[in-house]
């Protein structure tokens, strides 16, 4: 019998997000976001990492990045990168990512959105981790770029995950770092605290 | 009375580390390692993030990076970056980093080295977190670049921290992602698991 598919995936959305002036924009994807989050996702057993952007040019760039490391000297130089990039899927919009994840499950995909701000009725990390234990229920974790996903995105999502709490007033993790922490908390198997 | 100084700091070492052929090299520092780890460190209340490289040219580059965002258009554009870069110190070698951290404490600094491989007698995350509760005992967490710090570094360190465990055989977190996970586990205040 085939191994159970990992019931969590990550989508990194480049639109619709705010810029520093709270305008709704499409951000540019970065080579390093793609590599880092693919590696973190793979390390914690995910089978899908969706890069979502409405920009055709950006999707081409993403395909070149994932293709480059898949073939040619790039792939030979660092097979670890190739294996991580194998889980990347490039999507035009969130629906495309949801549909792809849905294909592996009977139960409807639920979206869990993330951000840096405190919001009412958000799910704690331990609570979400418990929900993930239901292996046939798929979850798509939504990460935003720029200054974060729009308020409409938060309203539309099925759940909101609590933000990662820092140690004081400064709380500006990069999306790469935030993704890694979320993955370790939700899919890690090590004891984290006594 | 002044607030207690954070008793943990991070040092990112660019030498001596292995390359993919297990030769001992000096790696090039990257703008993004510097920014990301500075932001993660600041978010979790650290007061020092040491960039360690024997290369004078690389130290100049680091100073330009941290200086650029401290003044001029860079600083104005994104004050969050400036605040994070304020904790960066650029060092020629590990001793310089240890000495800088030592200046804030009476007890001798202890070094805790990290890497991806399992090693005997390593400290678990919960155990190290407990040790950190002794607020006047300073610890310097050593992170390596390239293919990791040399065996000699591991022998010389006071303690070895257990590696971050992934979910399977693929375990290739970037140093940025690993640093974020370590910081969340050692300095985070949120409940991580039920």
The gap from C-alpha B152 to its chain's centroid, in whole angstroms, comes to 18
Q: Mutation test of the interface with chain A: which of B114, B135, B164, B190, choosing the one with the most A Cβ atoms within 10 A?
A: B190
Distance of CA A169 to the CA centre of its chain: 25
Q: What confidence score (pLDDT) does residue A1 get?
A: 35
**Is A129's CB within 8 Å of B194's CB?**
yes
CB contact at 8 A, A113 and A149: yes
Report the pLDDT value the prediction gives residue B80, as an integer from 0 to 100.
65
Give which of A165, A181, A145, A170 is closest to A32, Cα–Cα.
Answer: A145
Q: Can you give the residue ranges of every domain in chain B?
A: 2-193
pLDDT band at B191 (very low <50, low <70, confident <90, very high): confident
Alpha-carbon gap: B44 to the closest alpha carbon of chain A (Å): 5
Q: Which of B94, B96, B177 is nearest to B141 (CA)?
A: B94
Count of residues making up chain A: 194
- Record: contact A173-B43, CB cut-off 8 A: yes
Mean pLDDT in residue range B49-72:
85
Q: Please indicate whether, in this complex, the C-beta atoms of A177 and B176 are within 8 angstroms of each other.
A: yes
Percent of chain A with pLDDT over 90: 81
pLDDT tens digit sequence for B168-190? 888 899 999 999 999 999 999 88
Nearest-CB residue to A194 (from B42, B130, B194): B130
Residue A192 has what pLDDT? 77
C-beta atoms of B194 and A168 within 8 A: no
8-state DSSP, B161: B
Lowest-pLDDT range of A111-115, B63-67, B89-93, B94-98: B63-67
CA distance A74 to B114: 27
Is residue B11 a contact partner of residue B94, using CB atoms and an 8 Å limit?
yes
In chain B, residues with a C-beta closer than 8 Å to the C-beta of A173 are 39-40, 43, 180
**Is the predicted pLDDT of residue A69 greater than 70, yes or no?**
no
Q: Which residues of A touch B162 (CB under 8 A)?
A: 190
Domain B2-193: assigned CATH number: 3.40.1280.10
Q: Which residues of A155-182 are buried (b: 16+ CB within 10 A; e: fewer)?
A: eebebbbbbbbbbeebbbbbbbbbbbbb
Q: What is the pLDDT of residue A47?
A: 96
Contact B55, B14 (CB under 8 A): yes
What's residue B2's pLDDT? 40
Terminal-to-terminal C-alpha distance of chain B: 37
The pLDDT score that the predictor gives to residue A68 is 53
Contacts of B130 in chain A (CB under 8 A): 194
Residue B170: the pLDDT is 87
| Residue of B122, B123, B192 for testing the chain A interface, max A β-carbons within 10 Å | B192
Q: Which residues from B are below 8 Å from A168, CB to CB?
A: 45
Contacts of B192 in chain A (CB under 8 A): 125-126, 185, 192-193
Distance CA A35, CA A16 (A): 22
Chain B's closest residue to A194, CA to CA, is: B126
Q: How far is the C-alpha of A147 from the C-alpha of A19, rounded, in Å?
A: 5
What does the pLDDT average to over A154-177?
94
Q: DSSP letters along B138-175, please?
A: -EEEEEE-TT-B-HHHHHHSSEEBPPPP-SSS-----H
Alpha carbon A34 to its chain's center: 10
N residues, chain B: 194
Mean pLDDT, chain B, integer: 91
B139 pLDDT above the threshold of 50: yes
Which chain B residues have a beta carbon less than 8 Å from that of A36? 174, 176-177
pLDDT mean over B66-72: 62
Backbone φ and ψ of B149, nearest 5°: -65, 155
Report the pLDDT value the prediction gives residue A74, as an integer from 0 to 100.
52
User: From the CA of A190, how many Å to the nearest CA of chain B?
Assistant: 7
User: What b/e string do you get for B175-193 counting C-beta neighbours within 10 Å, with b at 16 or more?
Assistant: bbbbbbbbbbbbbbebebe
For the ranges A11-20, A61-70, B42-51, B65-74, the lowest mean pLDDT is seen at: B65-74
pLDDT at residue B16 is higher than 50: yes
Q: Rounded to an integer, what is the distance from CA B150 to the centroid of its chain?
A: 16
Q: How many Å apart are CA B162 and CA B164, to the nearest integer?
A: 7
- Listed residue (B88, B113, B112) closest to B33, CA to CA: B88
Is the confidence at residue B1, as pLDDT, over 70?
Answer: no
A73 pLDDT above the threshold of 60? no
* Chain B hits for A40, Cβ within 8 Å: 173-174, 177
Residue A97 binned pLDDT confidence (cut-offs 50, 70, 90): very high
Contact by Cβ (8 Å): B107, B99:
no
Average predicted confidence (pLDDT) for chain A: 91
Amino acid A171: pLDDT: 86
Interatomic CA distance for residues A85 and A39, integer angstroms:
8
The model's pLDDT over A98-144, given as tens digits with 9 standing for 90+, comes to 999 999 999 999 999 999 999 999 999 999 999 999 999 999 999 99
Round to whole Å and give the CA distance between A94 and A151: 15
Q: From the CA of B166, how many Å to the nearest CA of chain A?
A: 5
Residues of chain A contacting B4 with CB distance shorter than 8 Å: none
The minimal CB distance from B181 to the residues A20, A180, A194 is found for A180
DSSP per-residue string spanning A22-69: S-EE-PPP-HHHHHHHHHHHHHTT-S-EEEE-S-HHHHHHHHHHHHHT
Shortest CB distance from B180 goes to which of A84, A170, A180?
A: A180
């Amino acid at each position: 019998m085939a191994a159970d598919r990992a019931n969590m995936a990550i989508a990194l959305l480049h639109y619709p997000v705010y810029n520093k002036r709270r305008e709704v924009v499409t951000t540019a994807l970065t080579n390093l976001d793609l590599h880092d989050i693919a590696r973190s996702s793979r390390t914690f057993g995910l089978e899908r990492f969706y890069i979502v952007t409405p920009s055709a040019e950006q999707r081409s760039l993403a395909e070149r990045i994932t293709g480059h490391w898949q073939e040619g000297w790039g792939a030979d130089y660092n097979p670890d990168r190739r294996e991580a990039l194998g889980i990347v899927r490039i999507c035009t919009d969130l629906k495309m990512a949801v549909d792809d994840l849905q294909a592996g499950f009977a139960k409807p995909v639920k979206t869990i959105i993330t951000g840096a701000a405190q919001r009412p009725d958000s799910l704690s990390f331990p609570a979400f981790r418990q929900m993930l234990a239901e292996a046939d229920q798929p979850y798509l974790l939504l990460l935003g770029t720029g200054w974060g996903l729009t308020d409409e995105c938060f309203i539309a999502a099925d759940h909101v995950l609590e933000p990662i709490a820092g140690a004081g007033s400064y709380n500006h993790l990069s999306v790469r770092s935030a993704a890694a922490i979320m993955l370790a908390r939700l899919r890690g198997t090590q004891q984290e605290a006594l």
